[in-house]
Structure 1
Amino acid sequence: MRFRRNAPSVNAGSMADIAFLLLIFFLVTTTISADKGILRKLPKDCPPGQICSEPLKERNVLRILINDNQEIMIEDDIVTLSEVKGLAKNFIDNNGNGTCEYCNGNQLDNSSTSPQNAVISLQHGAFTKYQLFIEVQDELTKAYYELREAYAKNIYNKSPEALSQEELKAVKDAYPFILSEAKTIRAD
């Protein structure tokens, strides 16, 4: 008489439990990084029937170009990164038409007429390094922040953090952040 041997079987029920527990463990312990970026308010759509694109006076546009050689050019002059903030502040706060009561500019003929009319055009080449582009953006943001901070201290005798919502809106209206960004088209 022959005895039949039963082949040993593997209990697969506990493997599914272990796989489920590992899945739960990794879902709970994994951190998902939040997206980081540059906070900018996009312009509103133009209402139908209105003309929203007025031609700009050339003096109200500060042209900044970051070329493929990682050089920063402001109005065709090569500048360093540390010069960007000062040049932007002088351009924005120029008071070219003499009507800005809170501006401290030199009233130059080749700079903006008022902070509300000042537009910064930032262009970059196809091979501009992202790090440099962000650094230039940071310098422009610092320029606006410093102008707004000085305005808040002069008008309200407060730091920007201590302003009410209405006061903060007035500060932003006094120095609106108007930035035009574009990638330069390469002609090959």
Structure 2
Amino acid sequence: MAKRSAPEVNAGSMADIAFLLLIFFLVTTTIETDAGLNRKLPPIQDENTPPPPLKKKNIFQVLINQQNDILVEENEMELGDVRQAAIDFLDNGGQGCDYCQGKRDPASSDNPNKAVISLQHTRETDYSTYIAIQNELVAAYNFLRNREADRLFQMSFTEMEANFNDAQYNGDKDLLESRIETIRDMYPMKLSEAEPKESK
């Protein structure tokens, strides 16, 4: 009796099927990316150009030591009080700020355009504490920006930025961009993050 040979499987289209599956998974898979910290670095300046002069009263110093204690203007402060202290400093309105609602303390900042917040830490500071302080300082800027945007445009600054970054927003993006710039000019984010200090 003659042996029957087993029929061969045609594998010619297997490469095409594998290629189609690969394309399908590449197109449909979403890859999560870390957002990171949203910071705009200052422009590079010529080394021969001296930095602009700053009055000491226009600098709000925040230091985090190796025990994660928060020192604001050399006084110990709780994390929950940092935001309000920064708001009071930025919104003081000592000179030429008709929209500021602060106490106009002559010992505090002259104007939001001149006010600088300096954040410094030691190398032993916990990362979580540093980020928590940074969030409070950014929240102070956001509070003031939201207040002014709501007063001028009846929309929060956060909402305006979200709409501007939304690809499906149907409104006038040029108008929105000019309004965002107006608010940023009123309360520019001048948050200086200095090099870590060596602990003693």
Is this a same-fold pair by TM over 0.5? yes
Deviations 1:82-134 (A, max 9, x none): 0010000000000112x101000111122110000010000001100000100
Instruction: Flag structure 2 segments of 5+ consecutive residues without an equivalent.
Output: 1-17, 161-174
**Please, what TM-score do these two structures have when normalized by structure 1?**
0.78
Residues 21-60 of structure 1: matches in 2 within 5 Å? Answer: 33-46=32-45, 51=49, 53-60=51-58
The AA in structure 1 aligned to 2:197 is I
Partner of 1:142: 139
SS of 2:76's equivalent? strand
Q: What is the aligned partner in structure 2 of residue 76 from structure 1?
A: 74
The whole-number CA distance in structure 2 between the counterparts of 1:41 and 1:171 is 17
3-state secondary structure, aligned to 1:183 = coil
Root-mean-square deviation (Å): 2.5
Displacement of 1:47:
6.0
Change (3 A) 1:187 1:125: closer
**Maintained 8 Å contact 2:124/2:199:** no
2:115 counterpart of 1:118: yes
Which residue does 1:85 correspond to in 2? 83
Unaligned stretches of 5+ in structure 1? 1-19
Paired residues, number: 164
What TM-score do you get using the length of structure 2 for normalisation?
A: 0.73
Q: How far did residue 187 of structure 1 move?
A: 5.9
Decide whether the 8 Å contact of 2:121 with 2:197 is kept in 1. Answer: no
Paired with 2:97 and 2:30, the residues of 1 have a C-alpha distance of: 50
Deviation >4 Å, runs of 4+: 27-33
Partner residue of 2:7? none
Q: Do 2:93 and 2:103's aligned partners in 1 also have CA atoms closer than 8 Å?
A: yes
Please tell me whether the aligned partners of residues 122 and 199 of structure 2 are also in contact (alpha carbons under 8 angstroms): no
Distance across 1 between alignment mates of 2:117 and 2:142: 15
Q: 1:105 to 1:40 in 2, by over 3 A?
A: same
Letter in 1 for 2:150: K
Q: State the partner residue of 1:11.
A: none
